[in-house]
């Protein structure tokens, strides 16, 4: 253990904590467009959420690669981490909900048409989970590099696509049309996939890794739907049923997406077990 007089204090030629984290860049990014006190809260909540989403994508992409390589166990840790991150994003809405409608209206017009609906990282998370919406890509044409990145993500297999491939690799019968489907389209439930997951849940000892994978997927979708719900209720609390700044239907749109399931068969089999 270092004594107090051995603590490093000379950083002329050493990297500091702030330099490692590039805190000058990070902490100078919160630039209010109004003089209203609460705009700082609004900006920081969205910055924090985007940082967590960056880590979610980092973990999801690594998990997809791991499952594709037939290495399910390393993916479990990554997917568990995603679920824990999701809880943090959910709690962020609790902080934002301290913003009242009157306070938000003081600076809302400064946002112009900018909206969280346009978050490209959120879109990439949806794509990684299998919810593919091509028409939304029009939003991102302003940035050619970003548009190209999103196009690539649109055409990559999702977490569920590679999980279904893992079912087939384990000898479970999967409809060939599902195994060779156009992954740029949103996944639709298939009977063969449902029967395969049923077999896994009825024979846990035989298919332990696939059973673990299935439960990790359910965790992620469960938390994602809770995130969607908290988002919807926070928006409803602050702006009611007004349109979003980006032109979306606001609360109406957020309620509609609550009905979408990323991994439909994993929810359906719970009734049939």
Q: Enumerate the known binding-site residues for heme.
A: 231
Largest CA distance in the chain: 69
Determine contact, residues 62/78, Cβ cutoff 8 Å: yes
The C-alpha atoms of residue 190 and residue 262 are separated, in whole angstroms, by: 13
Cα(166)–Cα(173) distance, integer angstroms: 11
| Cβ-based burial of 80 (10 A; exposed 0-12, middle 13-18, buried ≥19) | middle
Which phi and psi angles does 73 have, rounded to 5°?
Answer: -60, -45
Q: Which residues contact 237 (CB under 8 A, 6 or more apart)?
A: 97, 101
SS3 for 92? helix
- Can you say which residues are annotated as belonging to the binding site for substrate? 42-46, 104, 108, 245
Annotated binding site: 42-46, 104, 108, 231, 245
Cβ(251)–Cβ(241) under 8 Å? Answer: yes
Q: What is the C-alpha separation between 154 and 55, in angstroms, rounded?
A: 19
Number of Cβ within 10 Å of residue 184's Cβ equals 14
């Amino acid at each position: 253990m270092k004594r107090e007089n051995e603590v490093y204090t000379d950083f002329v030629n050493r990297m500091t904590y702030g330099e490692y984290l590039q805190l000058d860049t990070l902490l100078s990014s919160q630039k209010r467009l109004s003089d209203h006190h609460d705009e700082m809260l609004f900006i920081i909540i969205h910055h924090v959420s985007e940082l967590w989403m960056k880590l979610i994508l980092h973990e999801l992409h690594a998990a997809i690669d791991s499952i594709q390589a037939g290495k399910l166990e390393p993916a479990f840790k990554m997917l568990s981490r995603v679920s824990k991150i999701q809880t943090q994003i959910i709690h962020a809405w609790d902080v934002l909900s301290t913003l009242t409608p009157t306070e938000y209206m003081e600076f809302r017009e400064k946002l112009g048409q900018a909206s969280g609906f346009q978050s490209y990282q959120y879109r990439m998370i949806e794509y990684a989970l299998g919810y593919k919406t091509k028409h939304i890509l029009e939003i991102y044409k302003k940035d050619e590099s970003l548009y190209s990145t999103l196009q690539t993500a649109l055409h990559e297999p999702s977490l569920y696509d590679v999980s279904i491939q893992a079912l087939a690799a384990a000898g479970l019968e999967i409809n060939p049309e599902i195994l060779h489907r156009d992954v740029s389209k949103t996944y639709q439930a298939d009977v063969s996939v449902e029967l395969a997951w049923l077999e896994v849940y009825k024979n846990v000892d035989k298919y332990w890794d696939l059973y673990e994978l299935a439960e990790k997927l359910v965790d992620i979708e469960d938390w994602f739907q809770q995130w969607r719900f908290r988002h919807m209720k926070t928006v409803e609390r602050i702006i009611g049923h007004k349109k979003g700044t980006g032109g979306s239907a606001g609360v109406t749109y957020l309620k509609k997406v609550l009905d979408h399931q990323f991994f439909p068969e994993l929810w359906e089999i719970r009734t049939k077990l």
